[in-house]
Structure 1
Amino acid sequence: MLDDFMTRAALAGIGVACAAAPLGSFVVWRRMAYFGDATAHAAILGVALSLALQISIFAGAVAVALAMALTVTLLTGRGYAMDTLLGVLAHSALAFGLVAVSFLSGIRIDLMAYLFGDILAVSRGDLAVIWVGAVLVVGLIGWRWSALLTSTLSPDLAHASGIDPRREQLILTLALAITVAVAIKVVGVLLIAAMLIIPAAAARPLSRTPEQMALIAAALGAVSAVAGLQSAYVLDTPAGPSIVCVAAIIFACTSALRGLRA
């Protein structure tokens, strides 16, 4: 079954959707959209370093994405507005990554595949990495679900309950770095933030509890992946952007539904 490249691509898309859904819900609740974008942009620098050092691209992307997220966390409140800080770091990391790639002589690299994804070229090894990463993220978020929710609702309430909000922020940061690393092959660094945010935002009008929102977001993300792949196959369009376009259409539909209910 896995000899069919479309089957591998669909399984990869579903795996990324499962990883991004619960994390994307927290990104929406905490208004961390730019945070996710900055972490994703930093991943291209991780790709360049991985190729230069001849180590796993997954390991390099996780390390650099985690370093970026930790840097943002540490510099927050040091005299710069959050959006300014994220803008500077995100675009700087992307630029340094692209420059670093240009110095990789003797190594052939399809830069467009890392920027916009190449889900149709997913191998069995890539599929294993994606699903192991998805299981890690879902397990990590599930383990700390209650504490993460409490610290998201109110840091003061979290402190009163014996929960350290900064520790929960670091857990989210780790989960975000893993998700970025596994999603590179599917949608690329420029579209990862879209897969984090759009399905979660689309699930919000359909949900009554946080748990419902995470589950519905996973389902909508999976539908976006499969339908996007099918439309890319039929219309001969890029697969990664097609997946995001389907997710955007679903978001428009759920938003319209919320408007009708109001």
Structure 2
Amino acid sequence: MLDDFMIRAALAGIGVALAAGPLGCFVVWRRMAYFGDATAHASLLGVALALASDLPVLLGVLGAALATALVLSARWGGTYAADTLLGVVAHASLALGLVAVSFLHGVRIDLMGYLFGDILAVTRADLAVIWAGALAVAALLVLRWRGLMTATLSPDLAFAEGRDPERERLVLTVALALLVAVAIKVVGALLITAMLIVPAAAARGFARTPEGMAALAALIGAGAVIAGVAASFRLDTPAGPSIVVAAVAVFLAAALAGPRLAERRAENGRVV
């Protein structure tokens, strides 16, 4: 079965989606979209460094994404607002990555694949790495779920329970860097944040509990992968962007249905 490139593509995308959905919920709750964007953009610099030093691309991407995420996690004071600094780091890291790639003479690199993903070229080895990384992210979120939720809702409450909010933030940082490292093959550096944000945002209007939102986000992401890969095969469109477009279509449908759902809940006396 794994000899079929379409099956491998779908399995790779589903693996990423199952981890990106729950992790994306925390990105939405904590309003960390720019943070995820900056971490994803840094992955291209990691690709260039890995190729220049003959290291596995996965290690280079993971190292660059983790280093950027850790730097951004530090509390920066001074003149500039956090969103300004995040925007500067995101675009600077992407630009540095593109410039660094241009200096790699004699090295063949599919730049468009790293920018927008090349899910149809996923191999069996890639599939194993993607699922291993995705399962590691999912396991990390499950094990730290209560602490992550408490720190997200109220850092003061987390302190009262004997939890360190900064440690929980570090857990999210590591999970985000790991997801970026395994997802770059699927949707590319420019679209990773979309796979984090869009399914979670689409699930928000329908879920009644945080756990329900995380599960629904994973399902929406997996469904978007299947729809996007199928559309790519039938319409000859880029697979990575097609997956994101499918997820956005679900989000738009959820946005349109949201007010009606809220009205029904209010009529039934339920808390939205």
TM range (shorter): over 0.9
Structure 2: unaligned runs, 5 residues or longer: 264-272
Residue 206 of structure 1 aligns to a residue in which SS? coil
CA distance in 2, matches of 1:116, 1:75: 31
Structure 1: unaligned runs, 5 residues or longer: none
Q: Which residue of 1 aligns with 2:2?
A: 2
Shift of 1:190: 0.2
Q: Which residue of 1 aligns with 2:137?
A: 137
Q: Which residue of 1 aligns with 2:225?
A: 225
Shift of 1:80: 2.1
CA distance in 2, matches of 1:39, 1:11: 24
Residue 105 of structure 1 aligns to a residue in which SS? coil
Letter in structure 2 aligned against 1:70:
L
Shift of 1:77: 3.5
Shift of 1:40: 0.2
Letter in structure 2 aligned against 1:228:
G
Letter in structure 1 aligned against 2:123:
S
Q: Are positions 1:176 and 2:169 aligned together? A: no
Residue 185 of structure 2 aligns to a residue in which SS? helix
Q: How does 1:1-262 map to 2 (within 5 A)?
A: 1-261=1-261, 262=263
Letter in structure 2 aligned against 1:101:
V
Shift of 1:79: 3.6
CA distance in 2, matches of 1:119, 1:78: 42
Offset from partner CA, 1:107-161 (integer Å, 9 cap, x none): 1001000000000000001101100000100011111000000000000111111
Offset from partner CA, 1:169-222 (integer Å, 9 cap, x none): 010000000000111011000000000000011011111111111111010000
Residue 186 of structure 2 aligns to a residue in which SS? helix
CA distance in 1, matches of 2:90, 2:148: 25
Shift of 1:73: 1.3
CA distance in 2, matches of 1:137, 1:130: 11
Letter in structure 1 aligned against 2:178:
I
Percent identity of paired positions between Structure 1 and Structure 2: 64
Letter in structure 1 aligned against 2:32:
M
Letter in structure 2 aligned against 1:9:
A
Residue 26 of structure 1 aligns to a residue in which SS? helix
CA distance in 1, matches of 2:77, 2:109: 38
CA distance in 1, matches of 2:131, 2:56: 16
Shift of 1:78: 3.9
Offset from partner CA, 1:214-250 (integer Å, 9 cap, x none): 1110100000001000011111111000000000000
CA distance in 2, matches of 1:259, 1:56: 48
CA distance in 1, matches of 2:76, 2:235: 44
Residue 55 of structure 2 aligns to a residue in which SS? coil
Structure (1/2) with the larger helix percentage: 1
CA distance in 1, matches of 2:125, 2:106: 24
Letter in structure 2 aligned against 1:189:
A
Given the two structures, how large is their TM-score scaled by the length of structure 2? Answer: 0.95
CA distance in 2, matches of 1:199, 1:37: 16
Letter in structure 1 aligned against 2:155:
P
Letter in structure 1 aligned against 2:53:
L
Highest CA radius of gyration, 1 or 2?
Answer: 2
Given the two structures, how large is their TM-score scaled by the length of structure 1? Answer: 0.98
Shift of 1:75: 4.3
CA distance in 2, matches of 1:11, 1:249: 21
